[in-house]
């Protein structure tokens, strides 16, 4: 089969979150399984900096809108790990400081930017290779299935191509004015509640859900959750209508980068059989955070995250007085919403001897937090998949997590009776339950070192490599292609 990935991000070219990791990893694994894969990305300024020299595969594509045309080139990004990359170059749309927004808010022409990108992918595919399946990601490329089933419905080159939509986070949907329908040259007949209309907006993600042949999301639990009013972000009814075509496929991780036995970012290597190096990593972490005063038997709690409402850090603030009155030390690394950056600064100011915060994005330091912490905190309100809990387990750092989405799918509650489990979970997203789960972890850490070592090794033994998810995606592609042929 030939699969085309169309996405707004892809590691290592451009990344703001887990979407980029998926689009960077799955294509190369699908190639290993014997299939042809092409990836299309916008030629952002950030992509140009990483891939500055590319020959034109297509000199000019005409992208029509209601009263004007845009013109885009398609650049040949070459073959990487067996995957062909192409970049859609339209400087007036993509040569900007940021991908989606500035501190003042989202770019007002995002409807046009990603509408143009989606149509450019379809037009380019007619010249560079029509796939069996277009695999599109989040709202930014959801117009591909919409276009295929409307404007391109009678196009003989594209009419048999199938579509798979992956929802990485249902909280981001692409809401635009109703006039977007005609601006994109789409028929007004689709602006109904059964298609793209959502509370009198044109909803890109809803269009993708309605018009795609299959839908995936990034964990089994999240596939269930987004069909409920609590987590569906207003699209739960639409997703329930497509339940038979909706599947959760858990994200994998790159163990070439995240493995304490080989990680070049950490102070010492260690394995489940020989954990001595973790103590050195702990000392190195505390040095990096200016906390050499912390005693050897004080549990170090770690956080690496976007500082955002989704991540549940209001619970950290609620339990801080009780938690930080005890013998613990908290390190946190991240950037994000100004209110939450200020929240962490205020906690550090109040508990100077118990807390050290770094407001930054620092990949090396993130590895040090994973390796050097004893316990990792993820009290997320919702978490479609989550990666840091998977990294933590691999590094023998015990996660305490809210039982939601991928956190629930990957972390098993410690059971002292059986010796099974890799962390501690709480069901309801309340400060009381979060603190109770953390207390269970702290008591085990302090009072039962044998059990703690068992939990560490249980987590380190888990494997979430990309090979398994890639096979599941191929099964989805094959099912979609068989239905379209």
Q: Is the peptide bond before 350 cis (omega within 30 degrees of 0)?
A: no
Q: Write down the mean pLDDT value for the chain.
A: 96
What's the whole-model pTM score? 0.93
Question: 13: closest CA among 3, 2, 27?
Answer: 27
28: helix, coil or strand?
helix
What's residue 478's pLDDT?
97
**Measured between alpha carbons, how far is 11 from 46 in angstroms, rounded to an integer?**
11
The pLDDT of residue 420 is 98
pLDDT tens, residue by residue, 236-255: 999 999 999 999 999 999 99
Is the pLDDT reported for residue 361 higher than 90? Answer: no
* pLDDT in the model for residue 264: 97
Q: What is the pLDDT of residue 195?
A: 98
Q: What is the DSSP string of 168-201?
A: S-TT---EE-TTHHHHTT--GGG-STTTTEETTE
For residue 462, give the nearest of 406, 380, 417 by alpha carbon. 406
Average pLDDT over residues 406-415: 98
Which residue is it, tokens 């022409």? 109
Supply the pLDDT for residue 103: 82
Residues of the chain with pLDDT > 70, as a percent, come to: 100
Residue 53 has pLDDT above 90, yes or no: no
Please determine, for residue 485, whether its predicted confidence score (pLDDT) is greater than 70. no
The confidence score (pLDDT) of residue 484 equals 78
Mean pLDDT along residues 461-472 = 97
Q: Which residues lie below 8 Å from residue 232, measured CB to CB, with a gap of 6+?
A: 170, 225, 226, 239
In the prediction, which pLDDT does 104 show?
A: 86
Domains assigned to the chain? 2-252+466-484 (3.40.50.2000), 276-461 (3.40.50.2000)
């Amino acid at each position: 089969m030939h699969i085309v990935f169309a996405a707004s991000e892809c590691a290592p070219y451009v990344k703001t979150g887990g979407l980029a990791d998926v689009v960077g990893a799955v294509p190369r694994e699908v190639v290993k399984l014997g299939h042809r894969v092409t990836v299309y990305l916008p030629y952002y300024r950030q992509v140009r900096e990483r891939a500055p020299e590319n020959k034109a595969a297509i000199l000019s594509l005409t992208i029509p809108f209601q009263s004007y045309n845009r013109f885009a080139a398609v650049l040949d990004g070459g073959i990487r790990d067996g995957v062909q990359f192409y970049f859609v170059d339209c400087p007036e749309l993509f040569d900007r400081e940021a991908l989606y927004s500035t501190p003042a808010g989202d770019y007002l022409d995002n409807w046009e930017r990603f509408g143009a990108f989606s149509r450019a992918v379809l037009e380019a595919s007619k010249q560079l290779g029509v796939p069996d399946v277009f695999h599109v990601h989040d709202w930014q490329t959801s117009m591909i299935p919409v276009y295929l089933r409307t404007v391109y419905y009678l196009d003989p080159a594209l009419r048999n191509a199938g579509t798979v939509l992956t929802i990485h986070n249902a909280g981001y949907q692409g809401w635009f004015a109703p006039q977007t329908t005609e601006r994109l040259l789409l028929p007004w007949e689709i602006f109904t509640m059964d298609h793209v209309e959502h509370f009198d907006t044109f909803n890109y993600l809803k269009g993708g859900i309605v018009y795609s042949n299959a839908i995936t999301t990034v964990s089994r639990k999240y596939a269930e959750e987004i069909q409920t009013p609590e987590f569906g972000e207003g699209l739960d009814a639409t997703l329930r209508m497509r339940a038979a075509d909706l599947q959760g496929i858990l994200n994998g991780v790159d163990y070439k980068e995240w493995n304490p036995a080989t990680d070049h970012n950490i102070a010492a290597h260690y394995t489940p059989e020989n954990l001595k190096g973790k103590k050195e990593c702990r000392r190195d972490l505390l040095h990096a955070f200016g906390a050499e005063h912390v005693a050897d038997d004080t549990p170090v709690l770690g956080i690496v995250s976007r500082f955002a409402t989704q991540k549940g850090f209001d619970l950290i603030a609620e339990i801080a007085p009780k938690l930080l009155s005890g013998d613990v030390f908290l390190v946190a690394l991240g950037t994000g919403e100004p209110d939450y950056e200020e929240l962490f600064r205020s906690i550090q100011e109040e508990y100077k001897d118990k807390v050290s915060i770094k407001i930054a994005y620092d990949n090396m330091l993130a590895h040090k937090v994973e390796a050097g912490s004893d316990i990792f905190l993820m009290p997320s309100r919702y978490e479609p998949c989550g990666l840091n809990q998977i990294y933590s387990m691999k590094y023998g750092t015990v996660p305490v997590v809210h039982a939601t989405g991928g956190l629930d799918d990957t972390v098993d509650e410690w059971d002292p009776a059986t010796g099974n489990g890799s962390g501690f979970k709480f069901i309801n997203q309340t400060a009381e339950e979060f603190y109770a789960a953390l207390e269970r972890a702290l008591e085990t850490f302090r009072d039962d070192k044998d059990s703690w070592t068992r939990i560490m090794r249980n987590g380190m033994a888990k494997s979430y490599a990309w090979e398994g998810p890639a096979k599941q995606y191929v099964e989805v592609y094959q099912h979609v292609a068989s239905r379209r042929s």
